[in-house]
Chain A
Amino acid sequence: MFTYDRVLNKCKKGRVEMKLANEAGFSNNDFIEMYRKMWQIRIFEETLEQLYKNGEIHGTMHLCTGQEATAAGSAGLLRKQDWITSTHRNHGHSIAKGTSIEAMLAEILGKKTGTNQGKGGSMHIADPDHGHLGSNGIVGAGFPIAAGAALTAQMNGTDQVVICYSGDGATNEGSFHEAMNLASLWHLPVIYFVENNQYGMSTATADSMNIRHISQRSQSYGIEGITIDGNDLIEVINTTFRAIQKAQSGGGPTLIEAMTYRYCGHSKSDQRLYRKKTEEQWWQDNFDPIKRTKKTLLEHGILTKEECAQIPLVVQTEIKAAVVKVRKDPKPDLTDLETQVYAE
């Protein structure tokens, strides 16, 4: 059953009107940078789609087209020393956290120069140098790992925070509930950021849980939960910013449920038989996060029409160049096969 608009209206009514002069204290340039990041994510995913069609990608991949605001507006707020854990659908989070697009491309094309030296592929992008602790192929496995990283920050007395990304479906895993409870109990500086894109593979949220909002689940664990419009960049920024501040001041975890939608199928084998084309169209026409951000930036005179048009073109050129370059990169050598099983 499709209930997004009802949910959306409900959560919109409850929230304070956001001003563009937002809580994170963004300058115009910061907004432009985020807008550019959203385009990087969109075009990165579209590029992968094409490369996949060309037969250049070995293995599956999970694209996040349509979910650009949740990634950019949250990971985009973190500093390099802050941490994220991500999922099979990690490209947006990875780019937003600062992982090199070129290294990601190389990884996905199976190159030695990739983020994981070709050993991980799309689903496992990791980049600890930029605070990206890694993406996981096991749904729900990141919840306690993120709590563990947050414990490190707490024990070392730093002000680092952790954002743990997950999908809606993952919150039905036991690990979600164990980790929530523990993170709350220990007041860990971790933000559980659930991208509710309405489906876990083919299963609609209404068919996998008997509650209206995933954020309600936080109540059992004594932590704050909030449902937001995940395709509204400003709302994502403000909510995440508040959660970060709370985490840094010892207030413990927050559960953010960001309503969004994935445009593509779950993975490369999905024919999307479980949903209607009209539903997909409705989202793209009315709620596209990039279009909405563009509109806001134009309305507030942060960007001109020409500048807006320029950004995706520049990004497109950059990513194209990266593809050309990475294609020539070396594959891992067979001598790499049995290395790195154990750390020195």
Chain B
Amino acid sequence: MKEITYLEAIHEALDEALSNDEKVYLLGEDIGVYGGGFGATKGLLEKYGAGRIRSTPISESAITGVAVGSAMTGMRPIMELQFSDFVTIAMDQLVNQAAKIHYMYGGSTKVPLVMRTAAGSGTGAAAQHSQSLENWLAHVPGLKVVQPSCAYDAKGLLHAAVEDNNPVMFYEHKLLYPLKEEVPESKFLIPLGVAAVKRAGSDLTIVATGIMVHKAIAAAEILAQSGIEAEIIDPRTLVPLDEDTILRSVAKTRRLLVVTEAVKRSGFGGEIAAVVAESDLSMQLLAPIMRLGGKAIPIPCQQDLEYAAVPQIEDIVKSAMKQMDAFKGGLV
């Protein structure tokens, strides 16, 4: 194992996928000499040539459509959308084409593609380059949605995404790119649909996605000082969602706080909350389920505003405390 960054982990997985399977190829804007929007494809052009590292015109609809058409005919494209916000322009090909083809064509065709994209706020890129729209695609049957929170997961999940025979949406968070941890040097797979318990605890379950996993862990350390042990669950993939791991944790803690960066309203946090609310556990909860998510505003540019737009460590601590206080001395 070697300590590498999240970005390097993605790069490594791409490199290994390209060298393992000649049907794998990359396409996207500026993925050649430039190395892709955030550098994930650096050096791959030199290694694999322009035939497999296909830098494209600025044409998100065509990039996605080409990925779909080539996937239908036997290739395994990995496309890069520079910013996840641009999914609006690729949307028809993802939602009406990639997601539906297998079912609509009676199972006769597969669309094994990976859409990699950089998401999230915190870089001052403002409203059109900072969103977390993964919930849009999680809503669409036929797509899988992956949201790795650390380098290890990024590598293992990307390999699993490439080997999956379905369109997989792979959300990378921009602020996670420089984060380092130990990652196996050779190829390994983390199956899609298996959540990770990122911290064990018995008092309260915090289900957090993407970058919020890190904030939740930091919050848990603070909570621990007051004797509150939070269990942190990272679903890692929104679709398929590992409901069992979430339910198992809540069965133990009987408290649930869900944290996403994406706007809370109509967000995926509601889905996770509903998994518990609709289960038998809902009658045994010690506190109402709580959700934290982005405010219902476009992401602003100015640093203080941007910071306040999405959940932060102190928000998680506060909500967790509230959870612990709920029904104190009342129901049990």
Interface centre among A129, A144, A151, A181 (most CB of B within 10 A): A144
Whether the pair B107, A145 counts as a contact (CB closer than 8 A) is no
Question: Roughly how many angstroms separate A120 CA and B102 CA in the complex, as a whole number?
Answer: 10
In the complex the two chains form, is B166's CB within 8 Å of A343's CB?
yes
Does A339 count as interface, using CB distance less than 8 angstroms?
A: yes
Residues of A within 8 A of B106 (CB): 114-120, 126, 340
The docked-state distance in angstroms from the alpha carbon of A145 to that of B77 is 13
Q: Give Cα A128 to B71, complex, Å.
A: 13
Report the stretch among A8-16, A88-96, A133-141 that lies at the interface: A133-141
Report the minimum CB–CB distance from A100 to chain B (whole Å).
13
Contact of B107 among A83, A114, A339 (CB under 8 A): A339
Segment 39-81 of B: residues with Cβ below 8 Å from A? 51-52, 54, 56-57, 59, 61-75, 77
Expressed in whole angstroms, the minimum distance between the Cβ of A210 and any Cβ of chain B is 23
B266 contacts the other chain (CB 8 A):
no
Q: How far is the CA of A178 from the CA of B75 in the complex (A)?
A: 21
CB distance from A220 to the nearest CB of B (A): 13
The verdict on A155 contacting B108 (CB below 8 Å), with A145-B97, A181-B62, A340-B103 known, is no
Q: How many angstroms between the C-alpha atoms of A127 and B72 in the bound complex?
A: 12
Cα A331 to Cα B221 with chains together (Å): 58
Within 8 A of A (CB), among B66-100: 66-75, 77, 92-93, 96-97
B28 interfacial by beta-carbon distance below 8 Å: no
A113-165: which have CB < 8 Å to B?
A: 114-120, 124, 126-129, 133-134, 136-138, 141, 143-153, 155-156
Q: How far is the CB of A9 from chain B (nearest CB, A)?
A: 36
Cβ of B303 < 8 Å from any Cβ of A?
A: no
Are the C-beta atoms of A149 and B69 separated by less than 8 Å?
Answer: yes
- Chain A 156-188: CB-based contact to B (< 8 A → 1; otherwise 0): 100000000000000000110011011001100
Q: Is the CB of A127 within 8 A of B102?
A: no
Q: Is the CB of A128 within 8 A of B61?
A: no
In the assembly, what is the distance between CA of A66 and CA of B25, in Å? 42
Question: Is A18 in the interface zone, CB < 8 Å from B?
Answer: no
* Interface pair A152/B74, CB less than 8 Å apart: yes
Q: How far is the CA of A186 from the CA of B63 in the complex (A)?
A: 12
Q: What's the nearest-Cβ distance from chain B to residue A223, in Å?
A: 14
Q: Are B104 and A120 in contact (CB under 8 A)?
A: yes
Asked if A211 is at the interface of the complex by the 8 Å CB criterion, the answer is no
Cβ of B196 within 8 Å of any chain A Cβ, yes or no, is no
**A120-B106, A343-B166 as given contacts; A141 in contact with B69, CB under 8 Å:** no
Residues of B in contact, count (CB < 8 Å): 44
Bound together, the chains give a CA A115 to CA B104 distance in angstroms of: 10
Residue in chain B with minimal CB distance to A121: B104
Query: Which residues B97-147 have CB closer than 8 A to chain A?
Result: 97, 101-112, 141-142, 144
Contact residues of B: prevailing secondary structure: mixed
User: B284 an interface residue at 8 Å Cβ cutoff?
Assistant: no
Inter-chain CA distance A175–B97, complex, in Å, is 13
Q: Assuming A185-B57, A340-B103, A343-B165, is B64 touching A144 (CB within 8 A)?
A: yes
Q: Is A5 an interface residue (CB 8 A)?
A: no
Q: Which of B56, B75, B93 sits near A182, CB closer than 8 Å?
A: B56
Does A344 belong to the interface (CB within 8 Å)? Answer: yes
CA gap between A133 and B74 in the complex, in Å: 12
Contact in complex: A341, B102 (CB < 8 Å): yes
Are A342 and B104 in contact (CB-based, < 8 A)? no
A126 to B65, CA, bound (A): 17
Separation of A174 and B60 alpha carbons in the complex (Å): 11
Q: Are B142 and A116 in contact (CB under 8 A)?
A: no
Residue in contact with A342 in the complex, picked from B25, B57, B61, B166, CB distance below 8 Å: B166
Closest to B70 in A: A148
| Of the residues A114, A119, A124, A147, contact of B66 by C-beta under 8 Å | A147
Chain B residues with CB under 8 A of A179: 59, 62, 65-66
Inter-chain CA distance A155–B69, complex, in Å, is: 13
Give the docked Cα–Cα distance between A151 and B97 (Å).
18
Tell me whether B107 and A148 are in contact (CB under 8 A).
no
B72 contact from A120, A148, A153, Cβ within 8 A:
A148
Q: Which of B96, B104, B109 contacts A133 (CB 8 A)?
A: B109
Q: Mark A233-247, 1 if CB is under 8 A from B, else 0.
A: 000000000000000
The reply to whether B105 and A148 form a contact with Cβ atoms under 8 Å apart is no
User: With a CB–CB cut-off of 8 A, which chain B residues contact A150?
Assistant: 69
Q: A128-B108, A133-B73 are in contact. Are A148 and B67 (CB under 8 A)?
A: yes
Question: Which chain B residues have a beta carbon within 8 Å of chain A's beta carbons?
Answer: 25, 51-52, 54, 56-57, 59, 61-75, 77, 92-93, 96-97, 101-112, 141-142, 144, 165-166
Could you list some 22 contacts between A and B, CB below 8 A? Answer: A114-B106, A116-B104, A117-B107, A119-B106, A129-B108, A134-B105, A141-B96, A145-B66, A146-B69, A148-B68, A148-B73, A148-B77, A151-B66, A152-B70, A155-B51, A174-B61, A175-B62, A182-B59, A340-B102, A341-B103, A342-B144, A343-B111
Given contacts A114-B106, A119-B106, 6 further A-B contacts (CB under 8 A): A148-B75, A152-B74, A155-B52, A155-B70, A175-B61, A181-B59
